[in-house]
Amino acid sequence: MFIADYSAKNIYDEMFSSEGYPRKSYDFVKTKMESLGGIELVKRSSSAERALMSLGITFTLYGDGGEQERIMPFDVIPRIVPSEEWVSLEKGLKQRIQALNLFLTDIYSEGKILKDKIIPRDLIESSSGYLKQCIGLKPPKDIWIHITGTDLVRDGAGAFHVLEDNLRCPSGVSYVLENREVMKRTFPELFEKLNIRQVYDYPYHLRSMLENLTDAIDPVIAVWTPGVFNSAYYEHSFLAQKMGVYLVEGSDLVVENHKIYMKTTKGLRKVDVIYRRIDDTFMDQTTFRPDSLLGVKGIFEAFKRGNVALANAPGTGVADDKVIYSYVPKIIKYYLGEDPIIPNVPTYLCSEEADLKYVLDNIHNLVVKAANGAGGYGMIIGPKASKQEQEDFKKLVKADPRNYIAQPVLNLSTVPTLIADKIESRHVDLRPFILYGKDIYVMPGGLTRVALRKGSLVVNSSQGGGSKDTWVLG
């Protein structure tokens, strides 16, 4: 059953070559899964689901049938990244983060890259992630982006490309760690045989990266969550627990004399480092949005004075603006004098007249996205949209060209996936997590997101996507 019905034609499949042979890295997994057989696979899959339910790794759906608690869809067939490919991805990601960090330092201080006319100044200043309040800011150790989740995809020929950078509050790393635990229970025999690079030490790397941001001895560290109703709350508490640090909400914090304190049973206690999982402009009502219900008044000033370290630093959003994204290869060249190791996906900027014309004429062949959209919102996949939807989206683009980019529709690679009791091919992307502390650490693997609907290219969990464990071998 395993291979007979599976077809991966006209596409780059992670497990099978176009001739239908398993790739070398998948050899053992494929043989093992076949010998287990379909019934055993389904059985193990449902026991993995039960484990996730017991662990409470769920989200709640509200609908006609009342409240329903579901687990994040999880597929038991792993996605494997061969080690030789991983070596180059790791180098490429480090290169990218380094360059983006230098870029942030530059544009919030001298702005050399703007003076040298590599990037038009107005693109920076019109970016919603660009915060005037951060001009002249010097974050601890000159690091702005401490935690990054970079989305990678393969093109039809199997080459990896960066689809987008997530430099503000990238989520999903808790699923990587939990998926791995469940996979170890589900297929112990695979783990015994294969040399799968472990990921369980990520929280330790995260913690030591955070400790690096302060000179305080025995620093007090906290993860700042918007609260229990946030969709990533599970991850926030997971990370705080695994690191052994506090999990705080805005209402737990207070500023006195430009220092941050949290309210404890023994009175106020100073906080040295905050890993914030809350958007820039919601952090502080006095500096940013006065209507924020989640913020702490005065925290930005405390940060500016060096009394608290924030990870990621406010202001990083400008570097993951999808328009700025298209300049990243130039940014890498400018600051490091190197060619990018992982290429971008070709991108049309609607702010450029020629590009705009092309986009409007070819919208049926393109993916068009808002420069600051996320979670699969504010975008259109041309070939899948109706004529009317295309026309409507064109109007949006024409009204605000600066805010839109377009890319060719990528035929994302596929991985065999258990759908009910059959193996079918589903599209995936990959989000590795990168930590910038004393050194740059790249977690081996990352979150593989799966578009569970047949033929769909949308992998976002908010749009019904699922995930797979990602294995880097050797």
Partner 1 sequence: MLSRVAESVFWMNRYIERAENYSRFIDVNHQLSLDLNEDVPNQWLPLVHTTGDIELFEKRYSAPTPVNVIRFMTFDEENPNSIFQCLSRARENARTIRENISTSMWEVLNEFYLFVKDYRKVYLESAELHGDTLSMGLSEFLSTVRKSCQSFYGCSDATISHDEVWNFSLLGRFLERADKTTRILDMKYFILLPSVHDVGSTLDLLQWLSLLKSASAHEMYNQKYKRVDPKDIAEFLILNETFPRSIFFCLQEMQDALEKISGIKEGLPRNLAQDATTVYLNRLRSENINSIFDKGLHEYLDDIQIELNHIGSKIVERFFTN
| CB 39 to partner 1: min, Å | 26
By the rule CB under 8 A, 264 interacts with partner 1: yes
473: left (phi over 0), alpha (psi -120 to 50) or beta: beta
Q: Which token pair is 306?
A: 């060096």
| CB 220 to partner 1: min, Å | 11
Within residues 198-237, the interface with partner 1 by CB under 8 A covers 223, 228, 233-234, 237
SS3 annotation, 21-39? CECHHHHHHHHHHHHHHHH
By the rule CB under 8 A, 26 interacts with partner 1: no
The Cα–Cα gap between 472 and 445 comes to: 6
| CB 240 to partner 1: min, Å | 4
| CB 263 to partner 1: min, Å | 5
By the rule CB under 8 A, 238 interacts with partner 1: yes
Inter-residue contact 325 to 129 (CB < 8 Å): no
380: helix, strand or coil: strand
The Cα–Cα gap between 71 and 49 comes to: 7
| Options 159-167, 192-200, 260-268, 454-462: segment touching partner 1 (CB under 8 A) | 260-268
Within residues 29-68, the interface with partner 1 by CB under 8 A covers 53-56
Within residues 353-392, the interface with partner 1 by CB under 8 A covers none
By the rule CB under 8 A, 265 interacts with partner 1: yes
Q: Considering the complex, state which of residue 54 and residue 388 has its C-beta at the smaller distance from partner 1.
A: 54
Q: Which token pair is 323?
A: 């328009």
Q: Considering the complex, state which of residue 83 and residue 237 has its C-beta at the smaller distance from partner 1.
A: 237
Q: Which amino acid makes up residue 88?
A: S
| CB 53 to partner 1: min, Å | 7
| CB 207 to partner 1: min, Å | 13
By the rule CB under 8 A, 255 interacts with partner 1: no
Task: Report the residue count for the chain.
Answer: 474
Residue 192 to residues 41, 188, 189: CA-CA distances in angstroms? 18, 6, 5
By the rule CB under 8 A, 267 interacts with partner 1: yes
Residue from 34, 49, 155, 249 in contact with partner 1 (CB under 8 A): 249
The Cα–Cα gap between 458 and 281 comes to: 28
Residues 6+ apart with CB under 8 A from 69: 58, 59, 60, 61
By the rule CB under 8 A, 240 interacts with partner 1: yes
Q: Residue 56, exposed/middle/buried by CB under 10 A (0-12, 13-18, 19+)?
A: exposed
455: left (phi over 0), alpha (psi -120 to 50) or beta: left
Q: Considering the complex, state which of residue 103 and residue 238 has its C-beta at the smaller distance from partner 1.
A: 238
| Options 33-41, 78-86, 122-130, 239-247: segment touching partner 1 (CB under 8 A) | 239-247
| CB 83 to partner 1: min, Å | 31
Residue from 47, 241, 286, 362 in contact with partner 1 (CB under 8 A): 241
Inter-residue contact 318 to 124 (CB < 8 Å): yes
Residue from 115, 121, 263, 422 in contact with partner 1 (CB under 8 A): 263
Q: Which amino acid makes up residue 395?
A: K
Q: Which chain residues interact with partner 1 by CB under 8 A?
A: 53-56, 223, 228, 233-234, 237-238, 240-241, 245-249, 251-252, 262-265, 267
